[in-house]
Amino acid sequence: MGGSVASLAGREWTMEIDFALIGHQESWRAAADVLAVLRGPERTPLPDDEIKDILPWIPARAVCHVEVGSIEDMRARGLYIDSFIPPDRLEAAYVHENIARVRAAAACAINAGAKIVSLGGFSSILIEGNFDLLPERHNTVFTTGNTLTVGFIVQGIKRMCEMEGRNLRRSTLLIVGATGDVGSGCARCLAPIVKRVLLSARNAERLRKLATELQSHGVQVEIATDLPENDLQRFSAEADVVICAASLASPSLLLGRVARDAIVCDAGYPKNLSPNAQTPGAKIFFGGLGQIRGGLRFAPDFHGILNRHPFPDVVHGCLLEGMALALEGRFEPFSQGRGFISPERVAEIDKIAAHHGIYLAPLYNADGPLEGSTSWRGGMLERMSATRENRVATDARPMPLNA
């Protein structure tokens, strides 16, 4: 590819790096937008077929500086590092290739001197439970960011219940992907405050272990492995609160018939719910997202590309955890492994995030906002449109954030 894609790789570091964020794009459209900024405004955008040919050959690299602000009048500086995992290569067949990509991204963060690194999307799933897969870390620590993700999912469920006038304590909760780190964390936080819990996951042994743990605290639990169609129909029809937190390579989850007016949180990255899912009457929202009140800056400007949300300064909880900890000066592996997320740990990271003005993002779904932003189709869309236009007129080369 020669010099057709710019990056921050190989630059002399002139500033201290507090944090790094490792991620990947969940769609080819998003990947194309990232490449357009990296290539610069003087280059003609690549055709879709060329992007699909080129992307698998791009090594992990830092693509932009990130600066996050706190309401406590402090800032933290970091990097966003893209692992460039192709959106169509998230299946198990590519696991070794993708682990190598995450390792390379981790090496970029370590070489840059990042103090703490958040693993976003499938990066945390690939490494989950086995941080030994990462390179020698020196003074850099890693977090999956899953604890803050769980915190925002739980807050979102509670807010939706308030908006819909629903009593959560009378609800039946279904968690799809219940044995993953996020799913099991949600179960531990919500099981004590709902009437009944239904758990779905692929791994029968882990599923039974989680059910036993919850039952020991007096929770009414039912489980189903792999959910054959009849069980899926029964579980989804009986649940009035659903959390979709499965590790899926694409939006392919078909819940089946859901309870009338069920609240459904799609917390997947990529999204879990298939566009063909039949959920008439369900109140769906995208979960696990937070909003930075102190402001977020990218250089080059990736607003609306790396954070493709209908509200300003919204980021996935997994990445926000590293930012919040950096602002707090707590450079520690807050979330790692599988099955260690507890209500106490969630409350702790929620408090740290809130201290710096990182709160639950306004709720929305594929159709738009669900609350609190009548200006979304006006002001926010205008801002996002202006950002994209500025990409054409702005030099995409890296620049100091204090320029």
How do residues 160-190 score in pLDDT, each as one tens digit?
999 999 999 999 999 999 999 999 999 999 9
Could you give the CA distance from residue 173 to residue 221 in angstroms, rounded to a whole number? 10
Mean model confidence pLDDT for the chain: 87
3-class DSSP state for residue 146?
helix
Q: Is the pLDDT of residue 145 over 70?
A: yes
Question: For the ranges 77-86, 133-142, 210-219, 313-322, which has the lowest average pLDDT?
Answer: 133-142
- What pLDDT score was predicted for residue 98? 95
249's tokens = 């390579």
Residue partners of 120: CB distance under 8 A and separation at least 6: 21, 22, 23, 24, 145, 269, 316, 318, 319
3-class DSSP state for residue 216?
coil
Of 350, 323, 320, 345, give the one whose Cα is nearest residue 335.
345
DSSP label at residue 202:
S
Task: Give the pLDDT band (50/70/90) at residue 129.
Answer: low
Could you give the CA distance from residue 119 to residue 77 in angstroms, rounded to a whole number? 17
Task: Give the pLDDT band (50/70/90) at residue 232.
Answer: low
Could you give the CA distance from residue 238 to residue 11 in angstroms, rounded to a whole number? 56
Kind of pairing between the strands at 196-201 and 241-244: unpaired
The residue that leads in pLDDT, 317 or 132, is 317
Instruction: List helix spans (H) across 165-249.
Output: 181-190, 204-215, 229-238
Instruction: List helix spans (H) across 71-121.
Output: 95-111
Task: Give the pLDDT band (50/70/90) at residue 251.
Answer: confident
Could you give the CA distance from residue 43 to residue 120 in angstroms, rounded to a whole number? 29
Q: Is the pLDDT of residue 230 over 70?
A: no
Kindly tell me the burial class for residue 89, based on how many C-beta atoms sit within 10 Å of its own C-beta (0-12, 13-18, 19 or more).
middle
- What are the respective helix, strand and coil percentages of the chain, to the nearest 5? 35, 20, 40
Contact, 235 vs 252, CB < 8 A?
no
Contact, 84 vs 92, CB < 8 A?
no
Contact, 227 vs 209, CB < 8 A?
no
104's tokens = 């390379």
Residue with tokens 């970029």: 108
Residue with tokens 């602000």: 69
Could you give the CA distance from residue 116 to residue 112 in angstroms, rounded to a whole number? 11
Q: Is the pLDDT of residue 12 over 70?
A: no
Q: Is the pLDDT of residue 390 over 70?
A: no
- What pLDDT score was predicted for residue 347? 98
Of 96, 59, 100, give the one whose Cα is nearest residue 81.
59
399's tokens = 């620049």
Long-range contact pairs involving 340-344 (C-beta distance under 8 Å, separation at least 24)? 340/181, 341/146, 341/147, 341/150, 341/181, 341/182, 341/184, 341/185, 341/188, 341/189, 342/185, 342/188, 343/188, 343/189, 343/192
Of 244, 228, 78, 257, give the one whose Cα is nearest residue 173.
244
The percent of residues in the chain predicted with pLDDT above 70, rounded, is 86
Q: What angle do CA 130, 136, 142 make, to 5 degrees?
A: 55
Q: How is 273-318 classified by DSSP, letter by letter?
A: B-TT---TT-EEEE-SEEEETT-EEEES--BTTTB--SSTTEEEHH
